[in-house]
């Protein structure tokens, strides 16, 4: 079987070299999860900016900064499907072998394979089963939805960011809707999805936004008081309200 047809390949390239192909893959979804929050940016990558181990994916649909020194192997996986459509992806693993983030090709296999044609790999083991997020009932007073509902009602732009070791990804804009469904708080925009598991946030820690004197940053804490990496930034007049 040729390498182009392998279902899973471990690419024989550094993660920074693989990321340089991101702009050739058509519409992609960069998805990453931590602490019950899944943060997804959706659309073509307009620019790939590289400086040493640092790689930035930028454009109208992407805003991600990646420290490739924190990454390990990159796995090209062609096994994903929705109905009859193949959704190939690149899984970027951390040094511990766990997937830090994935780039999922939304235009199907042909443009994705064309974009990675210069990258070569070797066969790897079958994919580990993806562990589903534990689903919980969403309480009406779940604190996770508070900053999103406040920003939506006020009609002000905010930035929603997820930070992990080796990755920072953000979206900025006006929230059109906050949709609770199947145990998750969902913020759904054409180029951005946030899925926040019920009960993932115990409270929001507020601090001044370093970007300006009129802004604040809310940092999500779990019920044990640990930061989960999710942050919301926006005008203090809206996000700092206590009423």
pLDDT tens-digit map of 37-79: 999 999 999 999 999 999 999 999 999 999 999 999 999 999 8
User: Would you state the pLDDT for residue 2?
Assistant: 42
DSSP character at residue 22: G
Mean pLDDT of the chain: 89
Provide, rounded to the nearest whole percent, the portion of the chain with pLDDT above 90: 74
User: Would you state the pLDDT for residue 3?
Assistant: 42
Sorting pLDDT into bands at 50, 70 and 90, what band is 4?
Answer: very low
CA 75 – CA 70 distance, rounded (Å): 16
Sorting pLDDT into bands at 50, 70 and 90, what band is 210?
Answer: low
User: Would you state the pLDDT for residue 177?
Assistant: 94
pTM for this prediction: 0.90
CA 157 – CA 148 distance, rounded (Å): 10
Is pLDDT at 95 greater than 50 in this prediction? yes
CA atoms within 13 A on the CB side of 16: 13
User: Would you state the pLDDT for residue 63?
Assistant: 98
194 with 184: CB under 8 angstroms? no
Q: Hey, what domains does the chain have and what are their CATH numbers?
A: 3-123 (3.40.1570.10), 143-239 (3.40.1570.20)
Return the ∠ at Cα 44 (arms to 39 and 49), rounded to 5°: 85
Q: For the residues 14-24, what does the mean pLDDT come to?
A: 95
Sorting pLDDT into bands at 50, 70 and 90, what band is 131?
Answer: low
Residues facing 92 on adjacent strands: 74, 101
3-state SS record for 218-238: EEEECCCCCEEEEEEEEEHHH
């Amino acid at each position: 079987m040729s390498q182009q047809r392998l279902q899973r390949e471990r690419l024989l390239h550094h993660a920074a070299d693989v990321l340089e192909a991101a702009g050739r893959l058509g519409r992609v979804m960069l998805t990453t999860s931590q602490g019950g929050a899944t943060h997804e940016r959706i659309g073509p990558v307009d620019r790939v900016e590289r400086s040493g181990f640092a790689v930035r994916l930028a454009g109208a649909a992407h805003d991600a900064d990646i420290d490739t020194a924190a990454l390990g192997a990159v796995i090209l996986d062609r096994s994903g499907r929705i109905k009859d459509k193949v959704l190939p992806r690149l899984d970027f693993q951390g040094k511990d072998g766990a997937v830090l983030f994935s780039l999922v090709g939304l235009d199907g296999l042909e443009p994705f394979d064309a974009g990675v044609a210069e990258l070569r790999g070797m066969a790897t083991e079958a994919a580990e089963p993806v562990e589903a997020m534990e689903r919980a009932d969403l309480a009406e007073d779940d604190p996770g939805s508070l900053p999103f509902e406040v920003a939506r009602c006020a009609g002000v732009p905010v930035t929603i960011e997820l930070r992990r070791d080796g990755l920072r990804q953000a979206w900025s804009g006006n929230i059109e809707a906050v949709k609770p469904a199947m145990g998750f708080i969902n913020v759904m925009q054409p180029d951005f999805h946030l899925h926040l598991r019920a009960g993932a946030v115990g409270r929001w820690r507020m601090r001044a936004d370093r970007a300006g004197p009129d802004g604040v940053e809310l940092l999500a804490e779990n019920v044990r008081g640990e930061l989960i990496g999710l942050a919301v930034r926006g005008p203090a007049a809206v996000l700092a309200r206590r009423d």
